[in-house]
Amino acid sequence: MPLHDKFGRAITDLRISITDRCNYKCVYCRTGNEGALYGDLPFADYLRMARVLVGLGITKVRLTGGEPLLRGGVVDFVRELAKLQPASEPLDIALTTNGHLLADLAKPLKDAGLTRVTVSMDAVDPDRFARITRVPNGYDQVLAGIRAARRAGLWPLKVNCVLMRGFNEDQIIPFGMFAREEGVTVRFIEFMPLEEERTWAPSTVVTLDEILARMAEYRPLVEIPHGRSETARRYRFEDGVGEIGIIAPVSHPFCGHCSRIRITSDGKIRTCLFSVWDHDLHAQMRQGATDQELADFIRSVVIKKEERHHIGEPDFVPASRTMVHIGG
Ligand code: SAM
């Protein structure tokens, strides 16, 4: 019986954070400080968790962090993951990265069995990019990473851009041009209250409606039908060249179709980005649980998955961890 929560949602999508270290300090995510808070586990432990979860119906695994490419051994880990076989289809193995180290790793990752990559990039202007990431000279490296991923056949190639008012809302049209020129899907993400500096306010969110209105000034868009559990609303330009997506968890929540759970770098299960508690799967392993006992534990956790988030509501309680320590 595949994993389900008490609202009848099937859980098929797993995100594993393999480190909570990051080499970028993006203004919408981190403080300017270095360092991991929670640390990480040997790859063998993540692999065992993934194996048990694939046995419970997980068909997609996304590696994230922190910055997952900071972790030595990531290519071998992907190779081991690719040996896991869900019942019905090959395992879809994706990666979310800031792209800084991708240029040299794209081909080895593809050869090891990585299916897809999403690169986070929040400006198409080098100076603005440096202001947002608080890292000088990253822009050219990330662009090289995106191009290497395309050459390696990591497809579809998505570029995620978090829009934060006052930092990069003027990048909407330049990103439309970028999507057309580079042949990538650019996805704009509404800023969520998951940042370390607690600067979020409703007014800092650049909403789906605003993004669409701004992009329409550049070129007409046509909506593309999307799958129920897909997070992004998808649009192509009317002339057929270029695609954009908008992930709008704040203005148009999609919790009713959520199919995701997460494992943090220290081996805790989180059933929602906005969970106020997590569930220590790694502690079960340390205490000698069998695979069957781990599966029972996972089922007992997933059944309690939160119905929805409460962003912007008076009863909103901030998540117990920020994005970099959850794994986005
Ligand atoms: N380091 C990798 C990267 O940059 O893609 C993976 C981890 S990062 C936390 C995962 C994703 O979360 C990125 O696309 C990032 O832009 C997004 N993100 C981080 N903080 C966010 C926030 N407060 N609201 C919305 N998205 C956020």
Residues of the chain with pLDDT under 70: 34, 229
Specify the residue with its C-alpha closest to ligand 1, atom 12.
328
φ, ψ of residue 13 in degrees (nearest 5): -125, 120
Distance CA 266, CA 283 (A): 10
Q: Put residue 312 in one of left, alpha, beta given phi > 0 → left and psi -120 to 50 → alpha.
A: left
Mutate to test the pocket of ligand 1, among 17, 20, 22, 28 (most ligand atoms within 8 A of CB): 28
Under 8 Å CB-to-CB from 24, ≥6 apart: which residues? 30, 67, 98, 100, 133, 134, 135, 138
Distance CA 90, CA 92 (A): 6
Distance CA 230, CA 156 (A): 14
**For strand 260-263 and strand 268-270, is the pairing parallel, antiparallel, or unpaired?**
antiparallel
Distance between Cα 51 and ligand 1 center (Å) = 26
Instruction: Give start and end residues of each alpha helix (H) in the chain.
Output: 43-55, 74-81, 102-112, 126-133, 139-152, 172-182, 208-216, 281-286, 291-302, 323-326
Distance between Cα 193 and ligand 1 center (Å) = 12
Q: What pLDDT is stored for residue 249 in this prediction?
A: 95
Under 8 Å CB-to-CB from 71, ≥6 apart: which residues? 18, 19, 40, 65, 77
Q: What pLDDT is stored for residue 92 in this prediction?
A: 96
Specify the residue with its C-alpha closest to ligand 1, atom 17.
328
Q: What pLDDT is stored for residue 34 in this prediction?
A: 66
Distance CA 47, CA 84 (A): 9
Tell me which amino acid residue 317 is: V
Q: What is the DSSP letter of 205?
A: B
Tell me which amino acid residue 199 is: T
pTM of the model: 0.96
Query: 125: number of CA atoms within 13 Å, CB side?
Result: 12
Q: What is the DSSP letter of 164?
A: B
294 C-beta neighbours (distance < 10 Å), count:
20
Distance CA 103, CA 145 (A): 4
Distance between Cα 73 and ligand 1 center (Å) = 22
Closest CA to 163 of 69, 97, 247: 247
Ligand 1 atom having least distance to the Cα of 192: 24
Specify the residue with its C-alpha closest to ligand 1, atom 19.
29
Distance CA 214, CA 195 (A): 26
How would you class 255 by CB atoms within 10 Å of its CB: exposed for 0-12, middle for 13-18, buried for 19 or more? Answer: middle
Q: What pLDDT is stored for residue 69 in this prediction?
A: 98
Tell me, using a 6 A CB cutoff, whether residue 273 lines ligand 1: no
Q: What pLDDT is stored for residue 88 in this prediction?
A: 75
Distance CA 180, CA 243 (A): 7
